[in-house]
Chain A
């Protein structure tokens, strides 16, 4: 089966006064329909840039340098602006990070949803649009009367659900959820994640979930992709990632998670994430890597596939072979 989402050699740079920052460095990723991928990494590792690049919403001074993002056989990067506008929400949808402020305060929720449909299917009848919006609201466990309400009349969790309802309005093939629960309490977090999980299963959509919360990831996604300094370092199934991570960065990340047996002891990762303006030569992680070898300082490791469809970019596993 061909993956619904294929990202090939995607490269994004930001042109700053201090020089060119490579925020996304030749990223490759495949995702099948119905699959859920968690994208994790430190702040500034390029997670959100990747999401924006997929939506082609990188704003100046950023630029997509090269690569392709193919959704359902269509390369988004090669579309013209108007075609890309139509592809947003209908092929690939984005559920924003700051759901608290993502709804227009002076428009009714319904009007904002109708706007979205109208932008793609202008000749749909008004009643049909309303009905489609209300069904979408119902599918995220909101009452139909939310249609008439304003954002300030909703709770944080409800606002986030509205954003999800907007995201699934046109049944896209890929949904990107950028930290959809970061501003919510844990109970609401779980409810919102279950909602995403359910609509995703119903529609068979591929979901990319961006976030820091490894616990949440462990519960909801099928695969985890770890980003470091604009590169994907490891992509594995949740089980593999948590039980035997291969890339030293992924290992350190998993080890840093608190657990009940060593309460109060924080196992951090020594050093700081590199500035994207000065990414170390070779493997970007080598200055912080406990198992760094000479080759790591000079040569960028290629992504190789290992047992269990795992993708890892590390010299540890190629040198020995």
Chain B
């Protein structure tokens, strides 16, 4: 029974990946820009070879990457190669492979998204829960309100704001980049500190942009839960406030929030990529932006596919995790 469910989910995952890769395959092809020609035309401008050579070079590279074949054949080739986990090469940064581009940029994205997603979830839900709890002190309840104000502000705007005032005007934080120029990446403590220092503003803009949503939804959930009979009965049982808050109130109010977390991941990645570009962090989002500007479609395919797969996988994981949190949901 359990195995069948897992197989069904995996099949669903494959369908999602296939649908996403099909859509992303055709969209960049609608433009008639040729990334190979663009790259070599640039080289030709700086000198090196003539315009007639350019056509020969473009034709030979197009043949090498299989771009001379009919679009439908290219599509089947592409689906075939991703089925073998081969994402191909960058047309713009040949011979760099797409896999290596993802591999190099992934740590930056994961560290930023992971830290900000977890922090905003924890902070937002705790604040929301406390804000709705009638016995929490007044000042603690008031703390939640300004965060709700930020719900309407996109993280990108916050990022620009923070960049301008804290980094540019007040020079409290670096203006961007993953680490200070002039130092070589290594695994020393001082380098790590330097990296974290550069991540502060991007992380704050991500957190501030999403924490309000958690506060708001958790406060609403908390108000519902605190009126439940079992919270009341817990008090009749003579439990202390902390136990009621933790075991009877928070645990139940958190359930829908966990589902919300899985759903929020998608939008988090989207806003994350814009924030990354703004702060010039060499993460997946920046690479995707570069690839779109160069119409480097194999890189676009690879990164979009990777993001789709990660989000879909995380959602399936949350689905399997859910019965552990809520015993009423049994999967069989």
Q: A119 and B239 in contact (CB under 8 A), knowing A103-B230, A104-B247, A106-B327?
A: yes
Q: Of B236, B248, B255, B326, which is within 8 A of A96 by CB?
A: B236
Measured CA separation A107–B230 after assembly (Å): 11
In A80-137, the 8 Å CB interface with B consists of 85-90, 93-94, 96-98, 100-107, 111, 115-116, 118-120
Q: Counting CB contacts under 8 A, is B45 at the interface?
A: no
Measured CA separation A98–B230 after assembly (Å): 9
Residues in chain A near residue B235, CB distance under 8 A: 57, 88
Interface residues on chain A, size class: 20 to 34
Mark each residue of chain B from 224 to 256: 1 if its CB lies under 8 Å from any CB of chain A, else 0.
000011101111111110010001100110010
Measured CA separation A166–B232 after assembly (Å): 14
Q: Counting CB contacts under 8 A, is A225 at the interface?
A: no
Q: Of A93, A106, A115, A116, which is within 8 A of B325 by CB?
A: A106
A163 touches B237 (CB 8 A): no
Q: Of B237, B247, B251, which is within 8 A of A88 by CB?
A: B237
Measured CA separation A96–B328 after assembly (Å): 22
B239 touches A107 (CB 8 A): no
A88 touches B236 (CB 8 A): yes
Q: Counting CB contacts under 8 A, is A55 at the interface?
A: yes
Measured CA separation A93–B243 after assembly (Å): 19
Q: Counting CB contacts under 8 A, is A198 at the interface?
A: no
Measured CA separation A233–B251 after assembly (Å): 45
Q: Counting CB contacts under 8 A, is A201 at the interface?
A: no
B247 touches A115 (CB 8 A): yes
B252 touches A85 (CB 8 A): no
Residues in chain B near residue A107, CB distance under 8 A: 247-248, 251
> Which residue of chain A has its CB nearest to the CB of B239?
A119
A163 touches B238 (CB 8 A): no
Residues in chain B near residue A100, CB distance under 8 A: 229
Q: Of B236, B238, B240, B248, which is within 8 A of A104 by CB?
A: B248
Residues in chain B near residue A118, CB distance under 8 A: 243
Q: A101 and B237 in contact (CB under 8 A), knowing A106-B327, A107-B247?
A: no
A106 touches B233 (CB 8 A): no
Mark each residue of chain A from 5 to 18: 1 if its CB lies under 8 Å from any CB of chain B, else 0.
00000000000000
Residues in chain B near residue A89, CB distance under 8 A: 236-238
Q: Counting CB contacts under 8 A, is A152 at the interface?
A: yes
Q: Counting CB contacts under 8 A, is A242 at the interface?
A: no
B238 touches A120 (CB 8 A): yes
Residues in chain B near residue A116, CB distance under 8 A: 237-239
Residues in chain A near residue B328, CB distance under 8 A: 105-106, 150, 152
A152 touches B327 (CB 8 A): yes
Measured CA separation A62–B325 after assembly (Å): 36
Measured CA separation A118–B240 after assembly (Å): 10
Q: Of A85, A90, A102, which is within 8 A of B240 by CB?
A: A85
> Which residue of chain B has its CB nearest to the CB of A120?
B238
> Which residue of chain B has its CB nearest to the CB of A117?
B237
> Which residue of chain A has its CB nearest to the CB of B251?
A106
Smallest CB separation, A87 vs chain B (Å): 7
A101 touches B236 (CB 8 A): no
> Which residue of chain B has its CB nearest to the CB of A93?
B236
Q: Of A88, A96, A98, A101, which is within 8 A of B238 by CB?
A: A88
Q: A96 and B229 in contact (CB under 8 A), knowing A89-B237, A105-B252, A106-B252?
A: yes
Residues in chain B near residue A111, CB distance under 8 A: 247
Measured CA separation A111–B4 after assembly (Å): 33
Residues in chain A near residue B238, CB distance under 8 A: 85-90, 116, 119-120
Q: Of A94, A105, A119, A120, which is within 8 A of B230 by CB?
A: A105
Smallest CB separation, B229 vs chain A (Å): 4
> Which residue of chain B has its CB nearest to the CB of A82?
B240
Smallest CB separation, A57 vs chain B (Å): 7
A102 touches B237 (CB 8 A): no
Measured CA separation A179–B240 after assembly (Å): 26
A96 touches B237 (CB 8 A): no
Q: Which of B228, B239, B247, B252 has the most chain A CB atoms closer than 10 A to its own CB? A: B239
Residues in chain A near residue B243, CB distance under 8 A: 115, 118-119
In A158-172, the 8 Å CB interface with B consists of 163, 166
Measured CA separation A79–B248 after assembly (Å): 25
Residues in chain A near residue B229, CB distance under 8 A: 96-98, 100-102
A96 touches B233 (CB 8 A): yes
Measured CA separation A128–B12 after assembly (Å): 49
Residues in chain A near residue B237, CB distance under 8 A: 88-89, 115-116, 119, 166
Q: Which of A57, A85, A93, A111 has the most chain B CB atoms closer than 10 A to its own CB? A: A85
Measured CA separation A55–B232 after assembly (Å): 12
Residues in chain A near residue B240, CB distance under 8 A: 85, 119
Measured CA separation A90–B228 after assembly (Å): 23
Residues in chain B near residue A97, CB distance under 8 A: 229
Measured CA separation A118–B327 after assembly (Å): 23
A101 touches B228 (CB 8 A): yes
B230 touches A104 (CB 8 A): yes
Measured CA separation A120–B228 after assembly (Å): 23
Residues in chain A near residue B326, CB distance under 8 A: 105-106
Measured CA separation A187–B326 after assembly (Å): 32
> Which residue of chain A has its CB nearest to the CB of B326?
A106
Residues in chain B near residue A87, CB distance under 8 A: 238
5 A-B pairs besides A100-B229, A105-B252, A106-B251 with CB distance below 8 A are A94-B236, A102-B229, A104-B251, A105-B326, A116-B238
Give chain B's interface residues, CB within 8 Å of chain A: 228-230, 232-240, 243, 247-248, 251-252, 255, 325-328
A-B contact pairs, 17 of them (CB 8 A): A55-B236, A57-B236, A88-B235, A89-B237, A93-B236, A94-B236, A100-B229, A102-B230, A104-B230, A106-B327, A115-B234, A115-B237, A115-B239, A119-B237, A120-B238, A163-B233, A166-B233
The 9 closest A-B pairs by CB, nearest first: A88-B238, A101-B229, A116-B237, A102-B233, A94-B236, A98-B229, A89-B238, A102-B229, A104-B230
